[in-house]
C-alpha cells in the first residue's frame, strides 16, 4: 500500500492583500489550505478576526484547515466549523473542555484536530484519540512563519504515530517544513504537512507543493 500524504500550505506568508488568488495558485496541487488564526493572546501575533476569516473561507477554492492559536478555543472552534472549515484544530493548552469542544466541531460537520506546542507531551492527550480526526505536532513555537524545524520534535511525532495505531487519524506537522525537513517528518510518521514560507516564498508555489509531496511520498512506510 502506498503512503498517504497531504500537503496543506499555510497562507501566513502569502500575499495577504489577495488571498483568494494566492489560494488559487496552489489549488490544483494541494489537499487543503491551512489557515492560521492568531489572537495576540495565546501567541504574540495577530492574523485574522472572525469576519476576515469567514471571507477567506467562503472565497477559498480549497477546503480550509483552520489552526486556532487563540484563547477561548471552546467558544471559537465550533464557529469555525459552522462557517464551513473542513477541519478545525484547537490547542490543548488553550481549551478548557477538550472533549466537549472536539465533539462540538464534529457535530458541526468538520474534522476535529488537536494540537500540542513543543513543550506539551502528546501522551497526556492520547485518551482523546476517539474524538480526534487529526493530531497536530507543532515543530516550532506557534506564532510566526519562517522559523526553523525543531529536530527534537521527531521523537514526539514517532510517539504520536504509535498512539494513533490503526485509527484513521491524520498526523500533521507544522513549522519549518521544507525540502530539507519533510522527509524526516514523514519518516517519523507524519502524513499531513503544513508548509508556509517554503511554499509562498518560493518563485513557483505550485511546483514547490508538488516537490514536497514527491519527497514525502519517497519515504518508505
Which residues participate in catalysis according to the annotation? 36, 174
Please, which residues have CB within 8 angstroms of residue 128's CB and are 6 or more apart in sequence? 98, 99, 102, 114
CA 60: distance to chain centroid? Answer: 16
Distance, in Å, from the CA atom of 171 to the CA atom of 122, rounded to the nearest integer, reads 12
For residue 147, with 0-12 CB atoms within 10 Å meaning exposed, 13-18 middle and 19 or more buried, which class applies?
middle
Per the CB < 8 A criterion, the answer to whether 112 and 106 are in contact is yes
- From 14-22, 118-126, 140-148, 180-188, give the range in contact with ligand DX5 by CB under 6 A: 140-148
195 binds, among ligand DX5, Zn ion, none (CB under 5 to 8 A by kind): ligand DX5
Q: Is the dihedral of CA 152, 145, 161, 112 positive or negative?
A: positive
- The least distance separating ligand DX5 from the CB of residue 8, rounded to whole angstroms, comes to 9
30 binds, among ligand DX5, Zn ion, none (CB under 5 to 8 A by kind): none
Name which of residues 120 to 149 contact Zn ion (CB under 5 A).
none
118 binds ligand DX5 (CB under 6 A): no
36 binds Zn ion (CB under 5 A): yes
C-alpha angle with apex 158: 153 to 163, nearest 5 degrees?
120
22 binds Zn ion (CB under 5 A): no
174 binds ligand DX5 (CB under 6 A): yes
145 binds ligand DX5 (CB under 6 A): yes
Distance, in Å, from the CA atom of 121 to the CA atom of 39, rounded to the nearest integer, reads 23
- From 15-23, 118-126, 144-152, 185-193, give the range in contact with ligand DX5 by CB under 6 A: 144-152
User: Of 103 and 210, which has the nearer Cβ to ligand DX5?
Assistant: 210
For the chain, the maximum distance between any two Cα atoms, rounded to a whole number of angstroms, is 43
Q: Which helix (H) or strand (E) holds 191?
A: none
Name which of residues 51 to 80 contact ligand DX5 (CB under 6 A).
67
Per CB under 6 A, residues contacting ligand DX5 are: 10, 12-13, 34, 36, 67, 140, 142-147, 174-177, 194-198
Per CB under 5 A, residues contacting Zn ion are: 36, 67, 174
Amino acid at each position: 500500500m502506498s503512503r498517504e500524504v497531504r500537503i496543506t500550505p499555510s497562507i501566513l506568508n502569502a500575499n495577504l492583500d489577495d488571498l483568494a488568488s494566492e489560494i488559487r495558485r496552489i489549488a490544483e496541487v494541494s489537499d487543503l489550505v491551512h489557515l492560521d488564526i492568531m489572537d495576540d493572546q495565546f501567541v504574540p501575533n495577530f492574523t485574522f478576526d472572525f469576519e476576515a476569516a469567514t471571507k477567506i473561507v467562503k472565497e477559498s477554492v480549497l477546503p480550509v484547515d483552520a489552526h486556532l492559536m487563540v484563547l477561548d478555543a471552546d467558544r471559537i472552534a465550533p464557529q469555525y466549523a459552522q462557517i464551513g472549515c473542513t477541519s478545525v484544530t484547537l490547542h490543548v493548552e488553550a481549551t478548557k473542555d477538550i472533549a466537549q469542544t472536539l465533539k462540538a466541531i464534529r457535530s458541526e460537520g468538520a474534522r476535529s484536530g488537536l494540537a500540542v506546542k513543543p513543550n506539551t507531551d502528546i501522551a497526556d492527550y492520547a485518551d482523546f484519540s476517539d474524538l480526534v480526526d487529526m493530531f497536530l505536532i507543532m515543530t516550532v513555537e506557534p506564532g510566526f512563519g519562517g522559523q526553523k524545524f525543531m529536530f527534537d520534535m521527531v521523537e514526539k511525532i514517532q510517539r504520536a504515530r504509535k498512539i494513533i495505531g490503526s485509527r484513521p487519524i491524520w498526523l500533521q506537522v507544522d513549522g519549518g517544513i521544507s525540502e530539507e525537513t519533510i522527509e524526516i517528518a514523514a519518516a517519523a510518521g507524519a502524513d499531513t504537512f503544513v508548509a508556509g514560507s517554503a511554499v509562498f516564498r518560493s518563485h513557483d508555489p505550485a511546483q514547490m507543493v508538488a516537490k514536497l509531496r514527491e519527497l514525502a511520498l519517497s519515504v518508505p512506510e
